[in-house]
């Protein structure tokens, strides 16, 4: 196993087809990356005390940190981190034990805390704080610290969510075709 992919407590990452992980990033433990996922420079994905699942065509951009909450008597299942399909996680986002639906944009520098539940087709603006156990309804733009619902997404914004995911799949493919160092 490469130094980018590391086991923890006999649990190792599982990687789908055509996945790109930058060599400066690390993926540890019980992490599942579906087909066409891209993990950009300086990302830490640590599934050591619970599981992390990342859906197809999702991109995790530079400097992001993804972690989970352990299982305990207080919360027997803990908080895994579950990210859907066609999701764009912006630069330096911090995701901790939350669930994110399909076709979501998490803006740069945003923080999503334990138990947060993000619906499908959502835009979370840059620098937003999504507090513990907060639920964000599908189809809206959210901003703020703490987060607040701003307005429904336009049709162009909804289409932009898929456009963003597709762009990152294309860029990821260019990196993979250019240099084998990006393949786990």
Q: For the chain, list the domains and their CATH numbers.
A: 5-177 (2.160.10.10)
pLDDT of residue 181: 78
DSSP lists the bridge partners of residue 14 as 32
Buried b (16+ CB within 10 A) or exposed e, 128-137: bbbeeebebe
Of the candidates 37, 17, 32, 50, which has an alpha carbon nearest to the alpha carbon of residue 89?
A: 37
pLDDT of residue 135: 98
pLDDT of residue 70: 95
Question: 71: which residues sit within 8 A by CB, 6+ positions away?
Answer: 49, 50, 77, 78
Of the candidates 84, 83, 107, which has an alpha carbon nearest to the alpha carbon of residue 96?
A: 83
pLDDT of residue 1: 59
CA–CA dist 21, 119 (Å, integer): 26
pLDDT of residue 114: 97
Using a 10 angstrom Cβ sphere, with 0-12 exposed, 13-18 middle and 19 or more buried, the burial of residue 154 is exposed
Structure token pair of residue 7: 């086991």
User: What sign results for the dihedral spanned by CA atoms 19, 22, 23, 25?
Assistant: negative
Query: DSSP states of 132-183 as a string?
Result: TT-EE-TTEEEETTTTEEEEEPPHHHHHHHHHHHHHHHHHHHHHHHH-GGG-
pLDDT of residue 179: 82
Question: For each successive 10 residues of the chain (184 residues), what is the average pLDDT?
Answer: 86 97 97 98 97 98 97 92 98 98 98 98 98 98 98 98 98 92 78
CA–CA dist 41, 59 (Å, integer): 11
Structure token pair of residue 58: 């999702």
């Amino acid at each position: 196993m490469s130094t980018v992919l590391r086991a923890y407590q006999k649990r190792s990452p599982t990687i789908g087809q055509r996945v790109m992980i930058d060599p400066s990033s690390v993926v540890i433990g019980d992490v599942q990356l579906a087909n066409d996922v891209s993990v950009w420079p300086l990302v830490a994905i640590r599934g050591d005390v619970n599981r992390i699942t990342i859906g197809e065509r999702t991109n995790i951009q530079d400097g992001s940190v993804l972690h989970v909450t352990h299982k305990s008597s207080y919360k027997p299942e803990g908080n895994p981190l579950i990210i859907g399909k066609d999701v764009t996680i912006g630069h330096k986002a911090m995701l901790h034990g939350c669930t994110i639906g399909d076709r979501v944009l998490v803006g740069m520098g945003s923080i999503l805390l334990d138990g947060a539940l993000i619906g499908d087709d959502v835009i979370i603006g840059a620098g937003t704080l999504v507090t513990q156990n907060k639920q964000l309804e599908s189809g809206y733009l959210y901003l703020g610290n703490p987060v607040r619902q701003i307005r429904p997404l336009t049709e162009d914004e909804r289409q932009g969510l898929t456009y963003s995911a597709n762009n990152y799949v294309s860029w990821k493919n260019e990196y993979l075709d250019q240099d084998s160092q990006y393949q786990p």
